[in-house]
Amino acid sequence: MDDRFNTIAGWVLFAGIVGLGASIASYKYFKGERPETLGYVIEGVETESEGPAAPPPLGNLLVDATAEAGERVFAKCSACHTIEQGAANGIGPNLYAVMGAAIGSHVPGYAYSDALSGKGGNWTWEDMDAWLTNPRGYADGTKMSFAGLSDPMDRANVMAYMESFGGAPARPEAVVIEEAPAEELAAEETAEGAEAAAE
């Protein structure tokens, strides 16, 4: 019985040594160099942009913004804010005529956070857009716990709704965004294709 066990153990050990030796030999023989660029180039496919596309300028968004759409989005805000003239404050201040009013002090008697009341100035369209995007990013330390509105069109609609309650400054101008002519784009793509083929 001892002889049989030794024979089996010897063959297992031999198989392990052969496997290890084959692994080392094949690694040396088949070792490949790491390519400069990982992956394969697929012809005719556009490359991804370096990040998310920037939202259109605020003035362009406000051209299409409506108070009616803003009223629907404002439903999220109405859990803490009122907007009708003379309405009582909720958890947050009444927002009647807030556009163009002093930041952090437009409702007398409301206890604004130091972070917001220390901002100074008046609510411009750009300030309100930044505030609605990320209140804590705009005024770190604010009492407002709302995460913000990520959709630029939702923000523009809410601002149009607040504008309908008075006090708003002049809207920012819409910016004409010029697109590169199709001929230039085709020339750039051809040049990029030639560079990729040369590599």
In a domain, 127, yes or no: yes
pTM across the whole model: 0.64
In a domain, 69, yes or no: yes
Mean pLDDT of the chain: 86
Are 107 and 113 spatial neighbours (Cβ–Cβ below 8 Å)?
no
Angle ∠(154,151,106) on CA atoms, nearest 5: 55
53 token code pair: 């596309």
Q: How many domains does the chain have?
A: 1
In a domain, 31, yes or no: no
Q: How confident is the model at residue 41, as a pLDDT?
A: 74
In a domain, 112, yes or no: yes
Angle ∠(89,108,112) on CA atoms, nearest 5: 70
Place 56 in a pLDDT band, splitting at 50, 70 and 90. confident
In a domain, 44, yes or no: no
What's the pLDDT tens digit per position in 58-78? 999 999 999 999 999 999 999
Q: In the predicted model, is pLDDT for residue 150 greater than 60?
A: yes
Amino acid at 131: W
Q: In the predicted model, is pLDDT for residue 155 greater than 80?
A: yes
Among candidate residues 135, 137, 161, the one with its CA nearest the CA of residue 148: 135
121 token code pair: 């100035």
Which whole number is the average pLDDT over 114-133?
Answer: 93
Domain span at residue 152?
58-163
Top-ranked range on mean pLDDT: pick from 41-50, 151-160, 174-183: 151-160
| CATH code of 79's domain | 1.10.760.10
76 token code pair: 């999220």
What's the pLDDT tens digit per position in 36-55? 887 777 777 766 656 667 77
In a domain, 182, yes or no: no
In a domain, 117, yes or no: yes
